[in-house]
């Protein structure tokens, strides 16, 4: 179990029980008491708990929220961090593609500081954020609206992409797995990602750390299709080794959990 998964489970247990001790969690997870105390240190830094002698209690300020709301807040924070790292990879004068999704929306909100940039996207929500940020050039590719959402895909989208080139393509992935590769939640989204990758000088995959070792429904391609992978915190060493051996640049923030 990754540290992140253990932290989430500790949060859930503590939210339900309001207090818990180190010895119980050590036996529950099969790890040392020292590991649990380090977990408590990180969760206390987040303001989630207060350490006590031999255990911890829930920070009472969180009680008005449900655990699912706490998880949603954390997920938003993770996505914003990935977006912040990815934005730093963009340079003035470039043409970029932003695929659909929350991370791309957060990137779009930060692009108003660029004086000369062209942004292509298949997501109406991303385009709205680009407009609000007053980005100089915005191109929304055509296509069929997917599942009552905000993303466009399909044959029309692929035809539109035949006639353009971008310096960097920022692609959101729902799964990152060394054996299976990159995956997304639908067949139409996977076809779009493949097409975008073919017209980009550099492919930059964005995925928060919870997407690693996971596989979604539809395969996009092997991890080697990306020149860069952006995530929000430390990931398993196997991915670091894979990226190093295959000349893939890996960008992460310092572990904050």
Confidence class for position 93, pLDDT limits 50, 70, 90: very high
| Cα dihedral 196, 197, 202, 208 sign | positive
Tell me whether residue 67 is in a domain. no
Residue 168's SS3 state is strand
Q: Does residue 69 belong to any structural domain of this protein?
A: no
Grouping H, G, I as helix, E, B as strand and the rest as coil, residue 38 is helix
Do 12 and 83 lie in one domain? The reply is no
Same domain, yes or no, for 198 and 173?
yes
Give yes or no for a contact between 82 and 232, defined as CB atoms under 8 angstroms apart.
Answer: yes
Mean pLDDT, rounded, for 54-77: 70
pLDDT tens across 66-79, in order? 656 655 666 677 88
Measured distance CA(221)–CA(182) in Å, rounded: 6
User: Is the confidence at residue 254, as pLDDT, over 60?
Assistant: no
Instruction: Based on the fold, state whether residues 57 and 86 are members of the same structural domain.
Output: no
If one counts the domains in the chain, the total is 2
Q: What is the pLDDT of residues 17-53, one digit of tens each?
A: 888 999 999 998 889 999 999 999 988 887 888 999 9
pLDDT tens figures, 157-169: 999 999 999 999 9
Inside any domain, residue 184: yes
Q: What is the mean pLDDT of the chain?
A: 89
Selection from 144-153, 203-212, 246-255 with the highest mean pLDDT: 203-212
Instruction: Please answer whether residues 73 and 46 qualify as being in contact, where contact means their C-beta atoms are separated by less than 8 angstroms.
Output: no
The label of the residue with tokens 């991915």 reads: 239
Give the Cα separation of 154 and 188 in Å (integer): 6
Q: Are residues 224 and 105 in the same domain?
A: yes
pLDDT at 46: 78
Pair (164, 212) in one structural domain: yes
Task: Say if 167 falls within a structural domain.
Answer: yes
Q: Are residues 18 and 44 in the same domain?
A: yes
CATH code of 89's domain: 3.40.50.1360
**Same domain as 214, residue 177:** yes
pLDDT at 64 over 60: no
**Mean pLDDT of the region 150-178:** 95
| 135 and 239 fall within a common domain | yes
Q: How confident is the model at residue 76, as a pLDDT?
A: 73
Tell me the CB-side half-sphere exposure of residue 178, using CA atoms within 13 A: 13
Summarize the confidence of residues 146-175 as an average pLDDT.
Answer: 93
Q: Are residues 122 and 161 in the same domain?
A: yes
192 in Cβ contact with 218 (< 8 Å): no
Vertex 207 angle, CA 25 and 11, to 5°:
20
Q: What is the CATH number of the domain that holds 51?
A: 1.10.10.10
């Amino acid at each position: 179990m990754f540290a992140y998964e253990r932290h989430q489970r500790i949060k859930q247990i503590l939210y339900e029980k309001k207090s818990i001790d180190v010895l119980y969690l050590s036996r529950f997870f099969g790890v040392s008491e020292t590991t649990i105390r380090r977990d408590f240190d990180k969760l206390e830094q987040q303001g989630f708990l207060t350490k006590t002698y031999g255990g911890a209690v829930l920070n009472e300020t969180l009680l008005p929220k449900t655990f699912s709301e706490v998880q949603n807040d954390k997920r938003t924070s993770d996505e914003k961090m990935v977006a912040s790292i990815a934005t730093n990879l963009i340079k003035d004068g470039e043409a970029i593609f932003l695929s659909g999704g929350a991370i791309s929306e957060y990137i779009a909100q930060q692009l108003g500081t660029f004086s000369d940039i062209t942004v292509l996207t298949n997501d109406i929500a991303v385009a709205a954020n680009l407009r609000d940020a007053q980005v100089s050039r915005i191109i929304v590719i055509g296509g069929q609206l997917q599942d009552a959402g905000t993303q466009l895909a399909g044959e029309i989208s692929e035809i539109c992409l035949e006639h353009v080139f971008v310096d960097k393509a920022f692609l959101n992935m729902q799964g990152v797995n060394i054996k299976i590769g990159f995956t997304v939640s639908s067949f139409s989204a996977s076809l779009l990602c493949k097409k975008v990758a073919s017209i980009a000088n550099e492919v930059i995959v964005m995925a928060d750390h919870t997407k690693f070792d996971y596989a979604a429904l539809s395969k996009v391609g092997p991890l080697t299709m990306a020149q860069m992978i952006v995530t929000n915190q430390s990931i398993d060493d196997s991915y670091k080794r894979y990226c190093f051996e295959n000349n893939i640049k890996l960008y992460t923030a310092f572990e904050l959990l």
